[in-house]
Structure 1
Amino acid sequence: MADETLLGIDIGTTAVKAILFSASGSVLAQFSTAYETARSKNGFVEQDPETWIQLVKDILSRFNSEQDLSGLKAIGITSQVNTHVFVDKDGKALAPAIVWQDGRCDDEARELDERIPAERRIKWWGAPRPIDASHALARMLWMSRHHPEVWQKTRWVMLPKDYCLQRLTGAAVTDPISNLGLVNMYLDYIPELLDCVPGAADRVVPLADMSDIAETVKDELDCAGVPVAVGTMDAWAGMFGTGIPGKGTAMYLSGTSEILGIVSPKAVPTPGVLTFPKYRDTTVHAGPTQSGGASFLWCSQLLGRDPYDLAKLVEGMDFDKPAPLFLPHLQGERAPIWDIRSRGTLLGIDAATGPAEFTRAVFEGVACSAAWLLERLEQSADTQPEIINCGGGGFRSDIWNQIRADILGRRLQRTAVRDPGILGAAGIAAVAAGQQPDLATAFSNLVQFDKVYEPNQARQPRYIELVKLYKRSYEAACETNHALVSLFE
């Protein structure tokens, strides 16, 4: 009899990735394929949903041909969120997916945001959450106004994981956690909010628990009959995949963006961060930035140098010598400032600035953005964790990880699995299929760590001042950056 296995799939911002795990969490096989994101000067950021599902089908076909999948017990899918697909009654995409980085709906977002008083936000969400350009409702309002022919044909407005889930199984279902901003503290849609856009309530996807079985894979596809879990968003899948809760209370995920979160039963309404509804006695305070690993990729492409080589240059630097200050707002910024019109800013360049200094500035700037977010999260959660579990592709570089530990002033412990979100998706699927009794048990068994980064106390005073300068630099450059964006609209 074949060994029991689990399959996790992540529909990420830059690639579809999958890992086949043993029942104990060992990696048996991996798959990753990048895909294109279309970007235009008017702020549009789009992807082709057909590419996602075709790559998912390729994964199932490849694993089915190369591995013994007779012991495959369940499939879990996670994905980027605040990326939206407008889908017709037959389950086909009517337009390119609007990616979370897309800023086209800024006017609609501000219009909706101004209509919701602060006390209603606290009642609905437990925090003064803004409606920004990535909010599903802003996207719906924009589509209804600019492409009414698409809006009229739209049956569902779906997240990437739910679109692929529906194409794989035929089930239209989503989880409430992934729909933060549309659901209230009781994990139900908010009728009063949906009524702000006529027709929105008829186009949201039915809700189910993340650890429920959505359906099984269709008969005509590879892995036919295998149960597929409802699953959840990348941040929560990554949280589980880093061992939170159970093996810690705080997480730091790094991929295209940086995502930080703290689990705490306390909740202090705090501007700029997201307080999720309580899920199975777990209250998560979290926030995503706009550009983390994406900033390093941009730096690498701009300099025409391999990322590994650039990281080695930073390792050899004297950190007592200055480097520029970088604001990584290459496509605006999300938490904690939620300013889609902010732009990347580089300060303090001199004649000695070269590739090493520029790269270090990117590393430190991204870490400063995380430190600003962590400060707000600690306020929201009313706690200061000493250890942060971390993982994701942006944590491959030891020198960058050390810089993060130094600037945050926290011990970072890195997961052995480089893609904790995929492990999280697989673990949720294991619970859905009855292979594990509950999420806490599942991830206590699956999660391991491979390295710990201790903060360098000698660098603390300078980095505390650098974070202060980072905040002041954003405020100082804000008006100019906004004006530059407006100048070319």
Structure 2
Amino acid sequence: MKTPLLVGIDIGTTSVKATLFDEGGAALRTFSDPYPTARPQAGFAEQNPDDWTSRVATALAQLSDGLQQGAVTAVGLTSQVNTHVFIGEDGEPLLRAITWQDGRAGTEAAELDAKVSTQERIAWWGAPLPIDASHPLARALWLKRHQPDLWAQTRWLMAPKDYCILKLTGEVTADPMTAFGLIDQSLAYVPHLLDLVPGVAERLPPLRGFTQSAGRIRSGLPLAGTPMVTGAMDAWAGLIGTGALRDGDCMYLSGTSEIVGLVSSTRHPAAGVVAFPTCEGITMHAGPTQAGGASLAWLSNLTGRAPSELSALVAQSDPHRPTPLFLPHLQGERAPIWDIAARGAFVGLDGSMGPADLTRAVFEGVASSVRWLLEALEASAGRPATSFSMAGGGAASDPWCQIRADMLGRPIRRLKTLDAGVLGAAILAGVGAGCFSSIPEAADQLIVTDRLFEPDPSRRERVDFLYDEYRALYAALKPFNAARAAFSVW
């Protein structure tokens, strides 16, 4: 087997991140470059696909600078999911990408959702999941209705990862997990579902496995000739990059949103979470919240203090001091409640509270949202989570990791490589290139633990109280938020 240098790239919600790894999982070089999200009107959230491709090309150039030809064995990509690019015959975008935060297709989603039975959902997706505004069929129907000329010009409907692969190699490909919501348990597109929006089926890329070839990087680009693999969407790349591959293992990715995935070969369909089809021998029950790191970023902007400064304030504060209760529903909420009308709240403020108290409340509120999600995942999986591996930018804060361990009542293993999606993409590339015989072998060799956070028993009563009140507050505010959403003047 080859001694690999591998590149993993993640086209995330806010930036492109990339790393050059050696055979022991050490990060030799890293790259990160942010890009904006445009919000031209209420409910819209768009990105320029050229922002992705230009940064991917720059990442490849910087990571390979000075290396001998062939030193990099393979390149893998992952990306945000439920972000969609409509591509013309010439391979160029027809409009800005519609991101997962975009709610413009809510009306179309509701119409499509009403046409799918609970039995069909469970048969296809393993759980009674809704078709929401981020579903590719809802997006396709929206474009077909509102910009029919662009729909007529559309050749491909793609995720960011697959669009970047197209630009790098000329290959049209997608993995089944990126296409989740359009596939069934056999990992194939569902004709009956696609028929709900005539014309979609012929615009979808062919499906390939995570480690299957997606061609080689084209001449004239950095690392030209280097093999690429189809890769996986962010949650699955993160799962692989955390090493959560066996029943009972749980990944926890803290980025813009919190993504939790529990591996279990048993299924008990539960509302609000995804029971993915078995892929690569892994059955993942997973769900994303809407605002994890996004909540801290919001507070940072509000207070004028950097997230790291806010975290340091919490580290110096009294963990038993009363804090407000925070709902992190700044743009609605996803798993497990899927309530687009939900809104954030601080409750219990008094004049003595300052930035440290508000930050602790944000940390606790986000942790509460994950505890609610974990309960749904354990119901779906029919078993408890026994091992937590954590990564993502939000995992860099020691106080936040401790609060999460306290709230969940479980030890949390923080990984040395926080960009688990980047590492997962590199692992898949290494397996596809023949550097490793299997995904588990690659994960065992490349994943390194940084620190273990144990729950503090003295905080059990406090976090249980906060969690119960968190759910009660959401229920109490739900009628108000629903009424508020009905008034466009708000």
Corresponding residue of 1:106: 106
Corresponding residue of 1:457: 457
- Residue 414 of structure 2 aligns to a residue whose secondary structure is strand
Q: Judge conservation of contact 1:246–1:440 (CA < 8 Å) in 2.
A: no
Q: Percent identity?
A: 49
Question: Structure 1: which amino acid aligns with 2:193?
Answer: L
Corresponding residue of 1:30: 30
CA distance in 1, matches of 2:66, 2:258: 34
Corresponding residue of 2:238: 238
Q: Judge conservation of contact 1:22–1:28 (CA < 8 Å) in 2.
A: yes
Corresponding residue of 1:316: 316
Report deviation, 1:266: 0.6
Alignment of 1:170-209 (within 5 A): 170-209=170-209
Q: Judge conservation of contact 1:112–1:138 (CA < 8 Å) in 2.
A: yes
CA distance in 2, matches of 1:382, 1:461: 26
The CA deviation string for residues 382-432 of structure 1, in whole angstroms up to 9 with x for no partner, is: 111233111111100000000000001111001111211100000000011
Is 1:226 aligned to residue 211 of structure 2?
A: no
CA distance in 2, matches of 1:46, 1:329: 20
The CA deviation string for residues 210-229 of structure 1, in whole angstroms up to 9 with x for no partner, is: 11011000112121111011
Question: Structure 1: which amino acid aligns with 2:9?
Answer: I
- Residue 100 of structure 2 aligns to a residue whose secondary structure is coil
Report deviation, 1:482: 2.5
Alignment of 1:395-410 (within 5 A): 395-410=395-410
Structure 2 regions of 5+ residues with no counterpart?
none
The CA deviation string for residues 113-149 of structure 1, in whole angstroms up to 9 with x for no partner, is: 1111111111111211111111111111111111111
Q: Judge conservation of contact 2:248–2:386 (CA < 8 Å) in 1.
A: no
Cα gap change, 1:358 to 1:137, in 2 (>3 Å): same
CA distance in 2, matches of 1:281, 1:218: 32
CA distance in 2, matches of 1:88, 1:264: 40
Structure 1 regions of 5+ residues with no counterpart?
none
Corresponding residue of 1:391: 391
The CA deviation string for residues 242-273 of structure 1, in whole angstroms up to 9 with x for no partner, is: 11115961110001100001100110010000
- Residue 436 of structure 2 aligns to a residue whose secondary structure is coil
CA distance in 2, matches of 1:149, 1:322: 57
Question: Structure 2: which amino acid aligns with 1:258?
Answer: E
Q: Judge conservation of contact 1:287–1:373 (CA < 8 Å) in 2.
A: yes
Corresponding residue of 1:63: 63
- Residue 8 of structure 2 aligns to a residue whose secondary structure is strand
Report deviation, 1:64: 3.1
CA distance in 1, matches of 2:205, 2:358: 45
Alignment of 1:350-369 (within 5 A): 350-369=350-369
CA distance in 2, matches of 1:368, 1:4: 41
Q: Judge conservation of contact 2:253–2:259 (CA < 8 Å) in 1.
A: yes
Corresponding residue of 1:115: 115
CA distance in 1, matches of 2:52, 2:326: 33
Q: Judge conservation of contact 2:247–2:264 (CA < 8 Å) in 1.
A: no
Q: Judge conservation of contact 1:133–1:340 (CA < 8 Å) in 2.
A: no
Question: Structure 1: which amino acid aligns with 2:386?
Answer: E
- Residue 487 of structure 1 aligns to a residue whose secondary structure is coil
- Residue 414 of structure 1 aligns to a residue whose secondary structure is strand
Report deviation, 1:312: 1.5
Report deviation, 1:483: 2.5
CA distance in 2, matches of 1:348, 1:111: 40
Q: Judge conservation of contact 2:246–2:264 (CA < 8 Å) in 1.
A: no
Alignment of 1:154-303 (within 5 A): 154-245=154-245, 249-303=249-303
CA distance in 2, matches of 1:172, 1:341: 37
CA distance in 2, matches of 1:244, 1:95: 37
Corresponding residue of 2:485: 485
Question: Structure 1: which amino acid aligns with 2:93?
Answer: A
Report deviation, 1:66: 4.2
Corresponding residue of 2:417: 417
Q: Judge conservation of contact 1:63–1:69 (CA < 8 Å) in 2.
A: no
Report deviation, 1:97: 0.4
CA distance in 2, matches of 1:262, 1:4: 30
RMSD: 1.4
Report deviation, 1:465: 2.0
The CA deviation string for residues 314-358 of structure 1, in whole angstroms up to 9 with x for no partner, is: 112222221111111111111001111211111111112211111
Question: Structure 2: which amino acid aligns with 1:357?
Answer: D
CA distance in 2, matches of 1:148, 1:97: 17
Report deviation, 1:476: 1.1
Q: Judge conservation of contact 1:246–1:444 (CA < 8 Å) in 2.
A: no
The CA deviation string for residues 80-129 of structure 1, in whole angstroms up to 9 with x for no partner, is: 00000000111110000011011111111111111111111111112111
Corresponding residue of 1:45: 45
The CA deviation string for residues 32-70 of structure 1, in whole angstroms up to 9 with x for no partner, is: 000011124411000000110011111122233344453
Q: Judge conservation of contact 1:162–1:172 (CA < 8 Å) in 2.
A: yes
Q: Judge conservation of contact 1:243–1:443 (CA < 8 Å) in 2.
A: yes
The CA deviation string for residues 460-482 of structure 1, in whole angstroms up to 9 with x for no partner, is: 12211211111111111112123
Q: Judge conservation of contact 2:248–2:264 (CA < 8 Å) in 1.
A: no
CA distance in 1, matches of 2:274, 2:108: 21
Question: Structure 2: which amino acid aligns with 1:348?
Answer: G
- Residue 193 of structure 2 aligns to a residue whose secondary structure is helix
Q: Judge conservation of contact 1:248–1:389 (CA < 8 Å) in 2.
A: no
Question: Structure 2: which amino acid aligns with 1:130?
Answer: P
Q: Judge conservation of contact 2:250–2:387 (CA < 8 Å) in 1.
A: yes
CA distance in 2, matches of 1:247, 1:227: 32
- Residue 73 of structure 2 aligns to a residue whose secondary structure is strand
Q: Judge conservation of contact 1:5–1:69 (CA < 8 Å) in 2.
A: no
CA distance in 2, matches of 1:235, 1:62: 26
Question: Structure 2: which amino acid aligns with 1:81?
Answer: V
Question: Structure 2: which amino acid aligns with 1:217?
Answer: I
Report deviation, 1:485: 2.9
Residue correspondences, number: 488
CA distance in 1, matches of 2:186, 2:386: 30
- Residue 443 of structure 2 aligns to a residue whose secondary structure is helix
CA distance in 1, matches of 2:132, 2:289: 13
Report deviation, 1:448: 1.1
Decide which moves more: 122-131 or 283-292: 122-131
Report deviation, 1:453: 0.3
TM-score of the superposed pair, with normalisation by structure 2:
0.97
Is 1:467 aligned to residue 450 of structure 2?
A: no
CA distance in 2, matches of 1:247, 1:186: 20
CA distance in 1, matches of 2:69, 2:335: 41
Cα gap change, 1:35 to 1:465, in 2 (>3 Å): same
CA distance in 1, matches of 2:122, 2:349: 43
CA distance in 1, matches of 2:395, 2:220: 39
- Residue 124 of structure 2 aligns to a residue whose secondary structure is helix
